[in-house]
Amino acid sequence: MATRHAFRRLARRMLSNVPESTVYGGPRPQEAAAARRVTVTTLRGKHRRGEPITVVTAYDYPSAVHVDSAGIDVCLVGDSAAMVVHGHDTTLPISLDVMLEHCRAVARGASRPLLVGDLSFGCYESSSTQAVDSAVRVLKEGGMDAIKLEGGAPSRISAAKAIVEAGIAVMGHVGLTPQAISVLGGFRPQGKTVDSAIKVVETALALQEAGCFAVVLECVPAPVAAAATSALKIPTIGIGAGPFCSGQVLVYHDLLGMMQHPHHAKVTPKFCKQFGNVGSVINKALSDYKQEVETRSFPGPSHTPYKITATDVDGFANALQKMGLGEAADAAAAAADNSENDGKPSENS
């Protein structure tokens, strides 16, 4: 048995594209079999049993690793990256090619959650053929398991149906659909009148009929979300839609409280609960780093790990002297002497 385990470890090392020995000391590759992969079937089972579904929107490798480690069910690579990561005022500027870069980064970091990639504005509105082509790219080039598209106009319903018929899982999105702010007149909640509330439910039902496996309900009153959730046979994922949905989604940066600067208020929604105050921690860490660099207390001996022997220092200094680099030779010798003492350079270094 011990021999078998040793062979398996050796095989994993041989198959890995990560060098065994590097100058970096970061996290080791995750065990692929640590947890079972979440699929659309997994979500259907949770919905059938009445178990809430957890979704987090993330855009890069580090956040995907965190989402994976936390056991979140779905990682959504949202076009909100345009605002949260790239600093735009809306989601409209981001392109499909840029979205694919975000998708690939997330796919490298998250091995357990169902991965859903947004179709960005401009890559699926023209025709069902365009929509299918874009969805195929999100799976083949982006490494996603499914796509999400916004809206419930007849053309969007047709696009969703065509993508499903092409063999790709689709998550719908109704209520506040950020890509439609030109029509909506800004980031405005939906479903606040009888007609608008009925439209939310009808649109969600139409997306279900088109074959969507779930529908996001964004910024609608809780009774409207409750009605839609009751009417549908597929999960609803709420964001600013109250507690009666089948699951909830928040943006990674929002829920962690990363956006602490007042300028970020425009992209931090009022419905978001901050489960952490990471932004303040980041600000303090950066300030501490700046101070330690300026006072020359970083890096100290514990963060200067790579050594050269005294004999080699002498040989190095002699070689520098022969090159006519006397000051460089003196600097090397002084650094060697310094590392043997307190490791902190003098003010004149």
Active site residues: 218
Q: Which helix (H) or strand (E) holds 165?
A: helix 154-165
**Token couple for 71:** 């056991």
**Token couple for 138:** 């999100």
Residues 6 or more apart whose CB falls under 8 angstroms from that of 218 comprise 173, 174, 175, 176, 177, 190, 238, 239, 240, 241
Please provide residue 250's backbone torsions phi and psi, each rounded to the nearest 5 degrees.
Answer: -140, 160
Q: Please, which residues bridge with residue 250 across strands?
A: 56
Q: What is the DSSP string of 103-124?
A: HHHHHHH-SSSEEEEEPPTTSS
* Nearest C-alpha neighbor of 237 from the set 41, 38, 46: 46
DSSP-derived pairing of the beta strands 114-118 and 53-57? unpaired
**Token couple for 297:** 């207390």
**Extended strands (E) in the chain:** 53-57, 74-77, 114-118, 146-148, 169-175, 214-218, 236-239, 247-251
DSSP-derived pairing of the beta strands 53-57 and 236-239? unpaired
